[in-house]
Structure 1
Amino acid sequence: MVERETMEFDVVIVGAGPAGLASAIKLAQLAQEKQQECMICVVEKGSEVGAHVLSGAVFETKALDELLPNWQELGAPVSTKVTNDEIYWFNNEQKATSIPHFATPKTFHNDGNYIVSMGNVCRWLAEQAEGLGVEIFPGFSAHSLIIEDEAVKGIITGDMGVDKDGNEKDGYMPGMELRAKYTIFAEGCRGHLGKQLINQFALDADASPQHYGLGFKEIWQIDESKHELGKVIHGTGWPLAGDTNGGAFMYHSENNQVVVGLIVDLNYSNPHLSPFDEFQRMKHHPVFKNVLEGGDRIAYGARAIAKGGLHSLPKMNFAGGLLVGCNAGTLNFAKIKGNHTAMKSGMVAAQVIFDALQNNMANTDLTEFKTVFENSWAYKELYQSRNFGPAMHKLGKFVGGAYNTLDQNIFNGGLPFTFKDNTPDHATLVDAKAAAKINYPKPDAKLSFDKLSSVFLSNTNHEESQPCHLKLKDAAIPISVNLVKFDEPAQRYCPAGVYEVQEIEGANQFVINAQNCVHCKTCDIKDPSQNITWVTPEGAGGPNYPNM
């Protein structure tokens, strides 16, 4: 048995994203107010705070206003106010129809919001947390759970210095046990440990399946004459066709830069569809092309988002800890925003845990979290938007869109109907032989690019000769099942070229290029056989996003 160093804390927080850092700051503030010691540790698998954070992002400051009311004086990187908000229906590859605000859900409107880099916001939040005495450990992945007496009592960080066959290399360091009275899991969408907790404690027993989108984002340096600081564009329609839903965005941020992206809902049915290639051809539409042409693409990233909303929200409390933020699925897809609700869920978690510590409690099931969270504005938002995604899935883009506009703008989410989508995203693919093949144009290396050059811009790296962090339950399934029935869709749904089917010695073989993985988690979500499990690689591996 491996001997591990043990460190003990009052609270361990897994993930230095908006939810985790808001939890840490709120806990430290409460301890400071009560003049009590509270040992708080945040572990972050990225090489630095913000390295794995990817978000659009148009940011609503509601939670930040509560957490740090003087954030402007403290120098928060939140300064580019939205000045112009446009919404389009993309009719085809050349035409777009501008949709007036009264004909769109009011949740889409962005008055008073800011265009930000959430990676930089998280770096700044980490500074505030450390200033309050919080310990933050970047480059350490939370590899496994410590569960004793049916309660979570902390986590074990990943071993360092293990080769691909599991043998110890020179410099091997076993992971540490980080034990805590309570553990907050804020790993982001489809968190590795969050997934285990949901299964082990049956947290989703009363919920609809979680639903997801795959979000792409690029940062472009553009000509100053084309830049309109604070301009926000959202749209839907082309290039996504049939039952494939999603939406495009472009935000004019500071320094003559724009961020451009596409979210593709992962409940699509055509196994030939490539979300990455849909994004690349989207940029050839005049709405985007006229801005991007002549510019330089300087960053690329991709990440799954949890968009099921209220109906897909699992129970968030269990013995010894709490799930918060996108690890639970608190994103408000009706707003296309989740940072503010993630932060608020973390702040509620901090309050409930601090109250328990005040009463000398440890490793208990904090059942009161449900009541406190349901009394918060974050839950109210999710309730008002509870039917948004399911209505689109059930009624289609046009009827579902009309329903959502009526429900949000006239009835504030109060129409007495309930729509639920109980088909998980991995179960929606049809047989490849019955689906229309899609011929994507070759990238022109000016507006559209291939996967490998894109991954290069994400600064993705994993230590050579480490165990593959993409685990197959059955190594035969990709070829014997997925290739036969679905033309092995992993070749296309992965936005980083991780998965290939190659003919080797006269036989098809499934090849995993784990070095390319940008930690988007799409394979864990969309694999039709649910045969791929994403686990944490060695600490600090993965993308290194500078300003996403």
Structure 2
Amino acid sequence: MSDIERESMEYDVVIVGAGPAGLSAAIRLKQLDADLDVVVLEKGSEVGAHILSGAVLDPSGLNALIPDWKGKGAPVSTEVTEDRFLMLGEGGHVRVPNKPMPPLMNNHGNYIVSMGNVCRWLAEQAEALGVEIFPGMACSELVYGDNGELAGVIAGEFGLEKDGSRGPGYEPGMILRGKYVFLAEGVRGSLSKQAIAHYKLDADSEPQKYGLGMKEIWDIKPENHKLGQVTHTMGWPLGANAGGGSFMYHAENNQVFIGFVVHLNYENPHLFPYMEFQRFKHHPEIAKVLEGGKRVAYGARAITEGGWQSLPKLVFPGGALLGCSAGMVNVPRIKGNHNAMLSGIAAAEAAAAALQAGRQSDELSDYEASVRTGPIADDLKKVRNVKPLWSRFGLTASLALGGFDMWVASLTGFNPFGTLGHGKTDAGATKRVTRVEPIEYPRPDGKLSFDRLTNVSFSGTNHAEDQPSHLRLEDPEIPVRWTLPKFAEPAQRYCPAGVYEIVRDDDGSNPRFQINAQNCVHCKTCDIKDPPQNITWVTPQGGDGPNYPNM
């Protein structure tokens, strides 16, 4: 579509993504220089619509950005009152004592929050400083300059027909040019993925690793509610089939945030992460909290888990990767929002200094140095071996070995295991069906557990049906011809929204791969876990996707 003429707007800094990283960068830029022209582009229908996180917030990033956030009314008020770590068996549990755990695992001083609401509040702070925020503006392409630098993005293209042609209401979108462009799209962002490949940013890092996080919000009986209680579990129902665990956070208004994370390096393609989550809720320790309650929201999102050794190079000519676009989650803490905010602050400070010095479109090496030597590095280095130890030795051994490594690192700054590698990608870890056993799952009961399509209706997800599918197949024949016989087409199971199906004639013949793109909650799991890497997730038109109220 090179014949398209687009209007262009010029900014000092263009930020893609109104999550904690992008909004923190925007706020810090305007704090440093009120005259800077800063724009934030958000693909969701509103700020927060696509934000899904646990979340227990470490306030260190917020403290650095807006020290008086309490006085300014930030929706951060439910302080953690109790930390519980449970090892689950099918019918019981063992509580893991808190005292032997490394200090970094302590949630004292942290807050149970809706990150969607925190981001809405951050957006208000940014706009009050003069930041322009455009929701419903999906960024579909990178724009490069004459010297190969990232010069901007194309945003706001609407009205394409299913076949990719321009419909009667076609709008070409705009080119938003920036002296610097920050990619803060979150996990497996489509433009970030392109930039990483284009500039070979991951050439010297380990493969990125991921988990799939699924979350429900429940209204529960007041007598079952314990405001500020935080519970994390490991063990059942995953067992040896996959790594992962759960969280249950008692938030305000008699609500609990309950979530389940499955590490995507699991081997058995018969594994059904969504059904593992639904089965988990029937554990007696969990069911007694939810009994008599009502699920009011559902969503899912991939999580970056590679940590320190999987961080790609963060800067390139004209741009930078922020937050989870690079992968800054502390896996054992299940926290990344504080690091996302700190990365936004660091990138803003580097860009503001460069612009003040008359520079533009170069590499912000000060940002890279800040992340590699500052508080983000301190946070991630201590836990760098937990994920690879878990992948190699399983849950029990990794608890002991990972705990030892974290303790020594916390006390001395030295990791006794050095820096362990991750090995295969998550897609490459999947075994063929001839080498694994099928897994049977109980049917949802409609009270504690639910089928996928019913739950997706609680995500507010909507996509215009007359647009091109945002789930692209490199070869449409591969799912049936190759992935189905070799891997039982795991897209049917790893997708937490029922997007992918194998449909057949009434007699069971003629299998076909069907994509129900309207169901997609933008978790990106298909882009990560598909064994032949045949599926690519791209942005649908702006505003489409989930509409999370307070995830």
TM-score scaled to structure 1, two decimals? 0.98
Report the counterpart of residue 510 of structure 2 in structure 1: 507
1:49 and 1:467 map into 2 onto residues whose CA distance is 24
Instruction: In structure 2, give the amino acid aligned to 1:468.
Output: S
Aligned partners of 2:159 and 2:167 also within 8 Å: yes
Report the counterpart of residue 336 of structure 1 in structure 2: 334
Report the counterpart of residue 426 of structure 2 in structure 1: 425
SS, match of residue 171 in structure 1: strand
Q: Counterparts of 1:300-339 in structure 2 under 5 Å? A: 300-339=298-337
Residue 82 of structure 1, CA deviation = 0.4
Report the counterpart of residue 22 of structure 2 in structure 1: 20
Aligned partners of 1:106 and 1:405 also within 8 Å: no
Q: Find 2:293's aligned residue among 285, 292, 295.
A: 295
1:90 and 1:113 map into 2 onto residues whose CA distance is 25
Report the counterpart of residue 127 of structure 1 in structure 2: 124
Residue 397 of structure 1, CA deviation = 1.1
1:383 and 1:349 map into 2 onto residues whose CA distance is 20
- Number of aligned residues: 543
Residue 136 (structure 1) aligned with residue 137 (structure 2): no
Instruction: In structure 2, give the amino acid aligned to 1:499.
Output: Y
Aligned partners of 1:59 and 1:340 also within 8 Å: yes
Which stretch of structure 1 is more off in the superposition, 308-317 or 329-338? 329-338
Per-residue displacement from partner, 1:395-432 (whole Å, max 9, x unpaired)?
22111111121222344162332211121000111111
Residue 369 of structure 1, CA deviation = 2.1
Report the counterpart of residue 106 of structure 1 in structure 2: 103
Q: Counterparts of 1:143-154 in structure 2 under 5 Å? A: 143-148=140-145, 149-154=147-152
1:105 and 1:268 map into 2 onto residues whose CA distance is 27
Report the counterpart of residue 465 of structure 2 in structure 1: 464
Residue 240 (structure 1) aligned with residue 238 (structure 2): yes
Report the counterpart of residue 455 of structure 2 in structure 1: 454
Q: Counterparts of 1:64-213 in structure 2 under 5 Å? A: 64-92=62-90, 94-148=91-145, 149-213=147-211
SS, match of residue 457 in structure 2: helix
Per-residue displacement from partner, 1:248-271 (whole Å, max 9, x unpaired)?
110000000001110000000010
Instruction: In structure 2, give the amino acid aligned to 1:493.
Output: Y
Instruction: In structure 1, give the amino acid aligned to 2:149.
Output: A
Instruction: In structure 2, give the amino acid aligned to 1:520.
Output: C
Q: Find 2:523's aligned residue among 508, 517, 520.
A: 520
Instruction: In structure 2, give the amino acid aligned to 1:517.
Output: C
Residue 4 (structure 1) aligned with residue 6 (structure 2): yes
2:423 and 2:148 map into 1 onto residues whose CA distance is 29
Aligned partners of 2:385 and 2:405 also within 8 Å: no
Residue 544 (structure 1) aligned with residue 544 (structure 2): no
Instruction: In structure 1, give the amino acid aligned to 2:542.
Output: G
Instruction: In structure 2, give the amino acid aligned to 1:515.
Output: Q
2:459 and 2:259 map into 1 onto residues whose CA distance is 15
Residue 504 of structure 1, CA deviation = 4.3
Residue 370 of structure 1, CA deviation = 1.9
1:205 and 1:368 map into 2 onto residues whose CA distance is 20
Aligned partners of 1:267 and 1:425 also within 8 Å: yes
Report the counterpart of residue 400 of structure 2 in structure 1: 402
Aligned partners of 2:139 and 2:155 also within 8 Å: yes
Per-residue displacement from partner, 1:8-64 (whole Å, max 9, x unpaired)?
1000000000000000000010003xxxx1000000000000000000000010010
2:457 and 2:211 map into 1 onto residues whose CA distance is 23
Per-residue displacement from partner, 1:182-224 (whole Å, max 9, x unpaired)?
0000000000000001101000000000000000100000001
Gaps of 5+ in 1: none
1:101 and 1:334 map into 2 onto residues whose CA distance is 14
Residue 102 of structure 1, CA deviation = 2.5
2:405 and 2:364 map into 1 onto residues whose CA distance is 34
Residue 372 of structure 1, CA deviation = 2.2
1:388 and 1:348 map into 2 onto residues whose CA distance is 26
Aligned partners of 1:394 and 1:419 also within 8 Å: no
Aligned partners of 1:107 and 1:334 also within 8 Å: no
1:385 and 1:475 map into 2 onto residues whose CA distance is 40
Report the counterpart of residue 42 of structure 1 in structure 2: 40
Report the counterpart of residue 30 of structure 1 in structure 2: 32
Aligned partners of 1:243 and 1:396 also within 8 Å: no
Aligned partners of 2:405 and 2:416 also within 8 Å: no
Instruction: In structure 1, give the amino acid aligned to 2:66.
Output: L
Report the counterpart of residue 488 of structure 1 in structure 2: 489
1:463 and 1:66 map into 2 onto residues whose CA distance is 40
2:230 and 2:356 map into 1 onto residues whose CA distance is 45
1:218 and 1:107 map into 2 onto residues whose CA distance is 26
1:204 and 1:86 map into 2 onto residues whose CA distance is 37
Gaps of 5+ in 2: none
Which stretch of structure 1 is more off in the superposition, 246-255 or 364-373? 364-373
Aligned partners of 1:276 and 1:493 also within 8 Å: yes
Aligned partners of 1:185 and 1:194 also within 8 Å: yes
Report the counterpart of residue 263 of structure 1 in structure 2: 261
Aligned partners of 1:105 and 1:404 also within 8 Å: no
1:510 and 1:178 map into 2 onto residues whose CA distance is 37
Aligned partners of 2:491 and 2:500 also within 8 Å: yes
Instruction: In structure 1, give the amino acid aligned to 2:24.
Output: A
Instruction: In structure 2, give the amino acid aligned to 1:19.
Output: A
Share of identical aligned residues, percent?
Answer: 53
TM-score scaled to structure 2, two decimals? 0.97
Report the counterpart of residue 414 of structure 1 in structure 2: 414
1:28 and 1:379 map into 2 onto residues whose CA distance is 25
Residue 324 of structure 1, CA deviation = 0.7
1:158 and 1:396 map into 2 onto residues whose CA distance is 45
1:247 and 1:220 map into 2 onto residues whose CA distance is 19
Q: Counterparts of 1:440-451 in structure 2 under 5 Å? A: 440-451=441-452
SS, match of residue 281 in structure 1: helix
Instruction: In structure 2, give the amino acid aligned to 1:47.
Output: S
Instruction: In structure 2, give the amino acid aligned to 1:24.
Output: A
1:150 and 1:482 map into 2 onto residues whose CA distance is 37
1:106 and 1:195 map into 2 onto residues whose CA distance is 35
2:144 and 2:539 map into 1 onto residues whose CA distance is 18
Instruction: In structure 1, give the amino acid aligned to 2:443.
Output: K
Which stretch of structure 1 is more off in the superposition, 368-377 or 526-535? 368-377
Aligned partners of 2:382 and 2:409 also within 8 Å: no
Report the counterpart of residue 353 of structure 1 in structure 2: 351
